[in-house]
């Protein structure tokens, strides 16, 4: 049982280590989702009393998120579908937008994360050439509502166009790409059109990126304890190698960790066994010292000592007496 338990532990440890990268991704996503919730609340606060439909209201992001730009636009859903909305900051919204579930009025919340982009939308291996922009749709029936669920909006005819301003130029030899993040946190790349335009068929977050070639601003590779040959030129495509190296180390680490755990557990099991044995011995010694307690059996009205088995039960003699 002890061995089985240790093995189970080992498997658990291995599984935990394998899951680590996923856990990281998840926390990044939940951070971004929490930001969406907060920005919805603050964007709605930007509406004045009795806001006009079709007017863009700039909101103020919370003070601990200075630099993020938000806005809110309230539209009748029928009007959005028939006419679209030609320019909502960088977003050009075409005709044919359908939302699920259906609402009569909806609010489109705009986000420009500016210098917070990388904090909330980490994209390993890539450099942002433009800020991350968000376009999310909510029910517009109650403008004091918080914690709203996003509506699903689909562009059924033409795509929504995102015309980025002030896109940084891509370094020589690299190709800038559009990136989109859906609300589940998965990213997708597509081609830029016209130098600065991305397209989307659904709501989400969008930006323009390039793949970073040199080891970028991320954590520098940890140098080995002894490096006898410092390579004069960086090896261009060491990223994949590094990743698999990391994986190997994680596996080796978890196996070693598991073995150590196994050892500790076995020791624990042994110790517990020894302890129990010792306890039992002590108990027996004590019993011996006190003299073996004899079982008392009721015989008639009085009690008489009786051994547990083997011996015949004692009886009162006068019962046989004539
Ligand atoms: C920023 O402040 C808001 C309240 O105004 C709070 O709910 C939120 O958690 C804070 N966010 C961060 C990232 O500190
Ligand atoms: C972004 O810039 C603002 C000032 O414009 C600053 O207050 C804020 O701390 C910056 N955010 C980050 C994540 O650096
Ligand atoms: C929009 O697309 C999503 C998935 O792509 C789908 O579940 C939803 O039903 C669609 N909504 C409409 C109104 O077409
Ligand atoms: C870097 O990008 C390449 C190509 O997109 C990918 O294969 C690799 O896994 C990425 N590395 C990391 C650490 O994400
Ligand atoms: C990425 O976008 C393309 C084109 O819109 C689509 O066909 C593909 O399914 C998307 N991939 C993911 C992972 O969402
Ligand atoms: C993106 O552009 C490249 C060439 O620049 C082309 O080969 C590729 O097919 C394009 N992808 C899409 C989805 O249009």
Distance of CA 233 to the CA centre of its chain: 37
Q: If you measure from the C-alpha of residue 170 to the centroid of ligand 5, how many angstroms do you get, rounded to a whole number?
A: 24
Hunting for tokens 């980025």 — which residue is that?
A: 164
Task: Determine whether the shortest distance from the Cβ of 182 to ligand 3 is under 6 A.
Answer: no
CB-CB neighbours of 80 under 10 Å:
24
pLDDT at residue 242, rounded to an integer: 47
Residues in the chain with pLDDT values less than 70: 1-26, 214-253, 255, 257-259, 281, 283-322
Question: How far apart are the C-alpha atoms of 29 and 91, rounded to whole Å?
Answer: 23
Distance of CA 172 to the CA centre of its chain: 35
pLDDT at residue 281, rounded to an integer: 67
The domains found in the chain, sorted by start residue, are 24-214 (2.60.220.50)
Question: How far apart are the C-alpha atoms of 16 and 264, rounded to whole Å?
Answer: 19
Question: How far apart are the C-alpha atoms of 198 and 219, rounded to whole Å?
Answer: 30
pLDDT at residue 302, rounded to an integer: 53
Nearest CA to ligand 5 atom 2: 188
What residues are in contact with ligand 4 under a 6 Å CB criterion? 124-125, 239-240, 243
Q: If you measure from the C-alpha of residue 67 to the centroid of ligand 2, how many angstroms do you get, rounded to a whole number?
A: 6
Task: Determine whether the shortest distance from the Cβ of 191 to ligand 6 is under 6 A.
Answer: yes
Per-residue pLDDT tens for 244-268?
Answer: 566 666 666 676 766 677 777 777 7
Q: What is the dihedral of CA 219, 39, 200, 139, to 10 degrees?
A: 150
Per-residue pLDDT tens for 27-48?
Answer: 778 899 999 999 999 999 999 7
Q: Report the predicted TM-score, pTM, of the whole model to 2 decimal places.
A: 0.66
Phi, psi of 255 (to 5 degrees): -65, -45
Residue 204's DSSP bridge partners are 135
Hunting for tokens 């609402």 — which residue is that?
A: 103
Contact 266, 2 (CB under 8 A): yes
Question: How far apart are the C-alpha atoms of 271 and 283, rounded to whole Å?
Answer: 18
- Return the ∠ at Cα 281 (arms to 263 and 286), rounded to 5°: 150
Nearest CA to ligand 1 atom 4: 62
pLDDT at residue 287, rounded to an integer: 54
pLDDT at residue 36, rounded to an integer: 97
Nearest CA to ligand 4 atom 2: 125
Task: Determine whether the shortest distance from the Cβ of 191 to ligand 5 is under 6 A.
Answer: no
């Amino acid at each position: 049982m002890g061995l089985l338990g240790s093995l189970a532990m080992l498997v658990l440890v291995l599984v935990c280590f394998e899951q680590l990268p996923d856990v990281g991704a998840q926390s990044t996503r939940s951070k971004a989702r929490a930001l969406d919730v907060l920005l919805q609340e603050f964007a709605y606060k930007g509406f004045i009393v009795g806001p006009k439909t079709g007017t863009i209201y700039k909101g103020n992001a919370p003070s601990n998120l200075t630099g993020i730009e938000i806005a809110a636009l309230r539209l009748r859903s029928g009007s959005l579908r028939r006419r679209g909305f030609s320019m909502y900051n960088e977003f050009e919204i075409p005709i044919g937008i359908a939302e699920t579930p259906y609402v009569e009025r909806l609010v489109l919340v705009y986000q420009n994360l500016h210098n917070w982009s990388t904090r909330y939308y980490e994209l390993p291996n890539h450099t942002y050439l433009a800020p991350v922009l968000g376009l999310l749709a909510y029910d517009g029936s109650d403008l004091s509502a918080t914690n709203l669920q996003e509506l699903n909006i689909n562009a059924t005819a033409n795509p929504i166009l995102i015309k980025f301003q002030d896109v940084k130029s891509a370094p020589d030899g690299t190709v800038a790409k559009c990136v989109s993040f859906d609300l589940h946190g998965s990213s997708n790349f597509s081609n830029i059109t016209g130098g600065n335009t991305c397209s989307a068929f659904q709501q989400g977050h969008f930006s323009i990126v390039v793949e970073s070639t040199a080891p970028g601003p991320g954590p520098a590779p940890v140098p080995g304890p002894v490096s006898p040959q410092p390579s004069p030129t960086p090896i261009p495509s060491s990223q994949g190698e590094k990743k698999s190296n990391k994986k190997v180390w994680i596996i080796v680490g978890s196996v070693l960790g598991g073995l150590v755990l196994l050892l500790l557990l076995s020791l624990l099991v042994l110790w517990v066994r020894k302890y129990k044995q010792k306890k039992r011995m002590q108990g027996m010694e004590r019993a011996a010292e006190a003299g073996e307690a004899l079982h008392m059996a009721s015989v008639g009205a009085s009690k008489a000592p009786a051994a547990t088995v083997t011996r015949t039960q004692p009886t009162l003699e006068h019962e046989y007496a004539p």
